[in-house]
RNA sequence: GGGUGCUUAGCUCAGUGGUAGAGCGCCUCGUUUACACCGAGGAUGUCGGGGGUUCGAAACCCUCAGCGCCCA
């Protein structure tokens, strides 16, 4: 049992212990899940980071919380699977490799598709996945044997399987629709890949028509007028009613276009008449479709004007915007201009290029039935969102979801499993099916989120019903930031429920917030306030970073983080280190059973009672995803109860030699505490625990269980009294200017239950038990303290202290009296509250009497 | 424009009906054989404004103001 026991270095140095411990855990295979075990499964899949990414502070938080849960459940005896992996990140990765090619003066087209994709795989092998090594530094107890990638063998099977299944259920279709087009990435984007931000643009009112057939329309994008198919007004707008059904001249293009009436037009906006450019605006597309209006596409895929039949063809869209306005001005058609005009414009989330709405033939997922099922799962309580406050956001999204454009004009990704025949045949093939000769596969790839939506089961081997699928699906909880609720979580819900016969991929969605800077401001490269978790781990250790993050992780809310907070967590780790050294030094041990409860002193009983309460609270809080509060409870138990009080009060016991019970109790408390802390601070607790107990590893140790027999309110009350007495004496000494280290003759005159602990208190208070004549004395409750200050005491300081105490007591008394003399209170307040206030009345009255007497006894100075 | 959240000590935040809390920071003292990455003591709040419900409100309701986020 004791072969592993080691001496602890005098100071805690994270860098020396972390890496060897992680290697030890891996070598022992602690993190590898066994799909044949009889243990109850507990599964979490890591939100797959981009293969291009490195560990940022948000990952550190997300992964810490997951590791806390996984480690706790492992200690509770579950068969835990924490599955790591990465996302192929279509656009992001393709951009990285294209940039690399560009530096060599090449484009992907120089290589051709096959060569380019090969290049991306090469890039992945060489430079991708930096984050995986960084996850090891954080101490993540993931099952590396199951490391997954969205484009690995499992992904390659799962994607066409579900595509075909959705297609056959009429939930995937191909259609010409307005999509978000990035003129730089040259691909369609889904709604969520577009970020809206306010931009200073212009708002130009232009007169269409000639003579008495004129109408003025306003637009922020004048260049698109070349593709106008109509002018629309509200059907009830009296200004334009007479013009509906007539035609008007479209300037520049010199075409006649109809004036139509549509409810979609807001008569109070601008002039109440709008241009209808069906091919370049989603609202206009709707109207144009409804009214059978023509929708000419007047830009090419690069955003250059084309096929408008005007002099503007060949101009970039932003150049054309100016040129069009200039020409309109020359013709006297600009009625008014507002510039700058602040309005919201969509940008590509990958490259920030202004998105161009564009009519285009794409593949879509018909989300309505899938989203309905995803919403119902939460509505019917089969899936819980923690915290519940975030449910409305979830519903807001799933209940108003647009069809999802899933085709991307990229090369890196899952190619769409659709083949087109020579005579227009469309063939959707599963993973093991082959297209007949002469058929050509759709060149597009699928949106990255399409494959990551399958993550909770594709990583387990689905569509094969593998042992892993049987054992570990559905997963146990999804832990992620609320910011990807819509990107990823909703999609996993839809796909999981659809693919797995209605079984949602997880019963709980535990959402956390974002990590912000010390002032609560969002981190961004442009602000220069980003935090690098790796630097913090270098400086303070992985445990300190983990604890700092977990300690501030309140459900669903953002947290601020500053370097000092991490430093403070490192200090806490050091505190624990030294407390353990102290315990070992004094012979604390875990040998044999705990001594009979009755044989223990009240201080030992008290710490056992507090430990038991702490275990209950921490366990309950962690099970409720209340990480911040759990850490807080641990922190205060360890630092306040254990270090500041129990160790101090036990020093006299250790010095006296009669300390067998205390040694065993301290050993027990430390053993349990280290276990309780292990999920949050795995490295230091492992190092301390193995040194202290000689055990193999905390990773596979048993999670503490609160012992109800240890709850001892009587001892808690007694120790609280001891604490009050000690604090009062300290205050007195402090007010009298007596240094902490200075020994002072003194004694307690106290009832037996307290007198029993006088030596312990005297030790803490540096009181000497010698014969003396008291020069100062005061009372705390039933206890009288006498001290010899060998000189006159500072009466002014003492009077000030007592006067302040008296004022506090009098205020408390008054509060209690007011309540008790209030008829309404007496009649309606619950019994226990009334009793409590009455007790307060008694104690504060006694305090006042005592303090007053002491004040009166002070010599007049 | 729609939705949603926040406003509590200098800073960052807990606290959902019964005497206002934590961490950090601040002030004073201190080289106590676990720990100065520490210890002891101390100061600090009309809980955003106004109104209401209640015996009792930081908490529940209404309203105003400011800030934030999501969506359009």
3-state secondary structure string across A361-388:
EEEEECCHHHHHHHHHHHHCCCCEEECH
Long-range CB contacts (< 8 A, 24+ apart) of A290-299?
A290/A262, A291/A230, A291/A258, A291/A260, A291/A262, A293/A229, A293/A230, A293/A258, A293/A260, A294/A229, A295/A227, A295/A229, A295/A359, A296/A227, A296/A229, A297/A227, A297/A358, A297/A359, A298/A224, A298/A226, A298/A227, A299/A227, A299/A356, A299/A358
Which residue's CA shows the smallest distance to C1' of B38?
Answer: A575
What values do phi and psi take at A382, rounded to 5? -75, -25
- Cα A679 from Cα A684, distance rounded (Å): 11
Which residue's CA shows the smallest distance to C1' of B11?
Answer: A519
Q: Which chain B positions have some atom within 7 A of a protein CB?
A: 2-5, 11-15, 18-19, 22-25, 28-32, 34-35, 37-43, 54-56, 68-72
A832/B64 CA-to-C1' distance in Å: 39
- Cα A310 from Cα A817, distance rounded (Å): 90
A516/B5 CA-to-C1' distance in Å: 17
- Cα A125 from Cα A544, distance rounded (Å): 32
Q: Count CB neighbours of A389 within 10 A.
A: 12
What architecture is the A724-857 domain classified under in CATH? Answer: Orthogonal Bundle (1.10)
Axis crossing angle, helix A627-636 with helix A542-551, rounded to the nearest 10: 110
A824/B52 CA-to-C1' distance in Å: 19
DSSP assignment of A634-682? HHHIIIIIIIIIIIHHHHHHHHHS--HHHHHHHHHHHHHHHHHHTTTSH
Q: Count CB neighbours of A283 within 10 A.
A: 17
Q: A539 in helix, strand or coil?
A: helix
Cα→Cα distances A197→A200, A290, A337, A344, Å: 10, 30, 22, 5
- Cα A46 from Cα A31, distance rounded (Å): 14
Closest nucleotide to residue A738 (Cα to C1')?
Answer: B29
A519/B40 CA-to-C1' distance in Å: 32
Q: What is the ipTM of this complex?
A: 0.94
A520/B48 CA-to-C1' distance in Å: 19
Contact in structure between A668 and A594 (CB atoms under 8 Å): yes
- Cα A718 from Cα A723, distance rounded (Å): 9
State which residues of chain A have pLDDT below 70. 1-6, 790-792, 860-861
Contact in structure between A776 and A733 (CB atoms under 8 Å): no
Closest nucleotide to residue A741 (Cα to C1')?
Answer: B32
Q: A507 in helix, strand or coil?
A: coil
Which residue's CA shows the smallest distance to C1' of B56?
Answer: A825
Residues contacting A64, CB < 8 A, separation 6+: A138, A545, A546, A549, A550, A553, A680
Which residue's CA shows the smallest distance to C1' of B18?
Answer: A833
- Cα A760 from Cα A646, distance rounded (Å): 11
> What is the per-residue pLDDT for A3?
45
A109/B69 CA-to-C1' distance in Å: 41
DSSP A486: I
Which residue's CA shows the smallest distance to C1' of B6?
Answer: A557
A570/B36 CA-to-C1' distance in Å: 15
Look up residue A47 and give its two tokens: 């939100």
Burial, A212: exposed, middle or buried (Cβ in 10 Å; 0-12, 13-18, 19+)?
Answer: exposed
Closest nucleotide to residue A834 (Cα to C1')?
Answer: B18
Which residue's CA shows the smallest distance to C1' of B14?
Answer: A629
- Cα A802 from Cα A805, distance rounded (Å): 5
Closest nucleotide to residue A655 (Cα to C1')?
Answer: B33
A59/B32 CA-to-C1' distance in Å: 44
Closest nucleotide to residue A579 (Cα to C1')?
Answer: B34
- Cα A461 from Cα A464, distance rounded (Å): 6
A519/B24 CA-to-C1' distance in Å: 13
* CA A483 to the chain's CA centroid: 9
Closest nucleotide to residue A552 (Cα to C1')?
Answer: B13
For strands A515-516 and A440-441, give the pairing. Answer: unpaired
- Cα A145 from Cα A586, distance rounded (Å): 43
Partners of A42 in beta bridges: A80
Same topology between domain A187-357 and domain A724-857: no
Closest nucleotide to residue A344 (Cα to C1')?
Answer: B72
Look up residue A145 and give its two tokens: 């044997």
CA-CA-CA-CA dihedral for A482, A483, A486, A489, to nearest 10? -50
> What is the per-residue pLDDT for A2?
41
Closest nucleotide to residue A13 (Cα to C1')?
Answer: B37
A639/B15 CA-to-C1' distance in Å: 21
What values do phi and psi take at A424, rounded to 5? 85, 10
- Whether the ω angle into residue A347 lies within 30 degrees of 0, i.e. cis, is no
A97/B69 CA-to-C1' distance in Å: 34
Closest nucleotide to residue A836 (Cα to C1')?
Answer: B18
- Cα A535 from Cα A540, distance rounded (Å): 9
A531/B6 CA-to-C1' distance in Å: 24
Closest nucleotide to residue A548 (Cα to C1')?
Answer: B23
CATH 3.90.740.10 fits A187-357, yes or no: yes
Look up residue A691 and give its two tokens: 């040194």
Closest nucleotide to residue A735 (Cα to C1')?
Answer: B41
* CA A848 to the chain's CA centroid: 50
Give the Cα-Cα-Cα angle A26, A32, A37 (nearest 5 degrees): 145
What values do phi and psi take at A725, rounded to 5? -60, -50
Domain ranges within chain A, ordered by starting residue: 187-357, 557-711, 724-857
> What is the per-residue pLDDT for A125?
84
**Answer CATH for A557-711 from 1.10.730.10, 3.40.50.2020, 3.40.50.300, 1.10.3720.10:** 1.10.730.10
A468/B14 CA-to-C1' distance in Å: 41
Closest nucleotide to residue A632 (Cα to C1')?
Answer: B22
Partners of A341 in beta bridges: A201
Closest nucleotide to residue A827 (Cα to C1')?
Answer: B55
> What is the per-residue pLDDT for A226?
84
Q: A41 in helix, strand or coil?
A: strand
From the DSSP assignment, how many helices (H) and strands (E) are in chain A? 29, 29
Which residue's CA shows the smallest distance to C1' of B35?
Answer: A578
A675/B35 CA-to-C1' distance in Å: 21
Burial, A531: exposed, middle or buried (Cβ in 10 Å; 0-12, 13-18, 19+)?
Answer: buried
A104/B32 CA-to-C1' distance in Å: 69
A59/B60 CA-to-C1' distance in Å: 38
Give the Cα-Cα-Cα angle A192, A195, A196 (nearest 5 degrees): 125
């Amino acid at each position: 049992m004791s072969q592993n026991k080691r001496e602890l270095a005098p100071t805690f140095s994270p860098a020396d212990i972390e890496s060897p411990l992680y290697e030890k855990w891996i070598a022992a295979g602690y993190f590898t899940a066994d799909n044949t075990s009889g243990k109850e499964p507990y599964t979490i899949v890591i939100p797959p980071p981009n293969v291009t990414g490195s560990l940022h502070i948000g990952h550190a938080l997300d992964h810490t919380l997951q590791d806390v849960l996984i480690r706790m459940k492992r200690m509770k005896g579950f068969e835990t699977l924490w599955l790591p992996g990465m996302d192929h990140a279509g656009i992001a990765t393709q951009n990285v490799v294209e940039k690399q090619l560009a530096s060599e003066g090449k484009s992907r087209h120089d290589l051709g598709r096959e060569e380019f994709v090969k290049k991306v795989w090469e890039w992945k092998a060489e430079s991708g996945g930096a984050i995986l090594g960084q996850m090891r530094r954080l101490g993540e107890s993931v099952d590396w044997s199951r490391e997954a990638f969205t484009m690995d063998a499992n992904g390659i099977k799962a994607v066409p399987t579900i595509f075909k299944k959705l297609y056959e259920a009429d939930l995937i279709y191909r259609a010409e629709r307005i999509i978000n087009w990035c003129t730089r990435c040259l691909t369609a984007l889904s709604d969520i890949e577009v970020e809206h931000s306010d931009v200073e643009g212009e708002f130009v009112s232009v007169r269409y028509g000639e003579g008495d057939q004129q109408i003025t329309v306003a637009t922020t994008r004048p260049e698109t007028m070349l593709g106008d198919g109509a002018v629309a007004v509200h059907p009830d707008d009296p200004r334009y009613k007479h013009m509906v059904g007539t035609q008007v001249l479209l300037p520049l293009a010199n075409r006649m276009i109809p004036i139509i009436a549509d409810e979609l037009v807001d008569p109070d906006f601008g002039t109440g008449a709008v241009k209808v450019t069906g091919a370049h605006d989603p609202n206009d597309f709707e109207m144009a479709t409804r009214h059978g209006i023509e929708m000419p596409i007047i830009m090419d895929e690069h955003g250059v004007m084309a096929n408008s039949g005007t002099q503007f063809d060949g101009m970039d869209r932003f150049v054309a915007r100016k040129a069009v306005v200039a020409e309109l001005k020359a013709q006297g058609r600009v009625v008014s201009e507002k510039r700058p005009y602040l309005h919201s414009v969509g940008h590509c989330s990958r490259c920030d290029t202004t998105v161009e709405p564009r009519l285009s033939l794409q593949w879509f997922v018909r989300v309505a039935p899938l989203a309905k099922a995803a919403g119902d799962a939460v509505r019917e309580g089969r899936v819980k969102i923690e915290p519940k406050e975030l449910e409305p956001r979830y519903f807001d999204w799933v209940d108003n979801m647009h069809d999802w454009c899933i085709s991307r004009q990229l090369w890196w990704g899952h190619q769409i499993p659709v083949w087109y025949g020579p005579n227009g045949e469309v063939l959707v093939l599963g993973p093991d099916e082959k297209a007949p000769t002469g058929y050509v596969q759709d060149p597009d790839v699928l949106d990255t989120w399409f494959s990551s939506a399958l993550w909770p089961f594709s990583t387990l081997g689905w569509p094969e019903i593998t042992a892993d699928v049987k054992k570990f699906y559905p997963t146990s909880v999804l832990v992620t930031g609320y910011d990807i609720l819509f990107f990823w979580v909703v999609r996993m819900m839809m796909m999981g429920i659809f693919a797995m016969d209605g079984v949602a991929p997880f019963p709980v969605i535990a959402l956390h917030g974002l990590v912000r800077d010390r002032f609560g401001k969002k981190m961004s490269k442009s602000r220069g306030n980003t935090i690098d978790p790796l630097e913090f781990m270098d400086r303070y250790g992985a445990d300190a970073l983990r604890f700092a993050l977990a300690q501030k992780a309140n459900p669903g809310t953002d947290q601020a983080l500053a370097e000092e907070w991490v430093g403070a967590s490192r200090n806490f780790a050091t505190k624990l280190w030294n407390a353990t050294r102290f315990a070992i030094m004094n012979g604390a041990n875990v040998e044999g059973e705990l001594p009979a409860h009755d044989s223990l002193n009240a201080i030992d009983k008290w710490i056992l009672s507090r430990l038991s309460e702490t275990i209950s609270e921490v366990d309950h809080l962690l099970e409720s995803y209340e990480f911040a509060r759990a850490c807080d409870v641990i922190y205060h138990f360890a630092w306040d109860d254990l270090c500041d009080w129990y160790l101090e009060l036990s020093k006299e016991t250790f010095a006296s030699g009669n300390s067998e019970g205390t040694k065993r109790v301290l050993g027990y408390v430390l053993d349990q505490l280290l276990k309780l802390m292990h999920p949050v601070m795995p490295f230091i607790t492992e190092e301390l625990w193995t040194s202290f107990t000689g055990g193999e590893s905390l990773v596979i140790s048993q999670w503490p269980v609160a012992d109800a027999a240890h709850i001892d309110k009587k001892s808690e009350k007694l120790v609280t009294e001891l604490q009050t007495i000690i604090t009062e004496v300290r205050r007195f000494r402090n007010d009298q200017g007596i240094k902490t280290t200075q020994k002072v003759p003194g004694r307690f005159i106290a009832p037996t239950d307290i007198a029993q602990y006088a030596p312990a208190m005297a030790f803490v208070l540096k009181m000497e038990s010698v014969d003396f004549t008291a020069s100062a004395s005061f009372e705390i409750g039933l206890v009288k303290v006498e001290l010899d200050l060998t000189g006159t005491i500072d009466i002014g300081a003492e009077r000030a202290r007592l006067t302040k105490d008296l004022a506090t007591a009098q205020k408390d008394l008054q509060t209690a009296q007011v309540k008790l003399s209030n008829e309404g209170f007496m009649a309606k307040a619950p019994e226990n509250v009334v009793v409590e206030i009455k007790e307060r009345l008694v104690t504060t009255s006694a305090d006042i009497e005592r303090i007053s007497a002491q004040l009166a006894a002070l010599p007049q100075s």
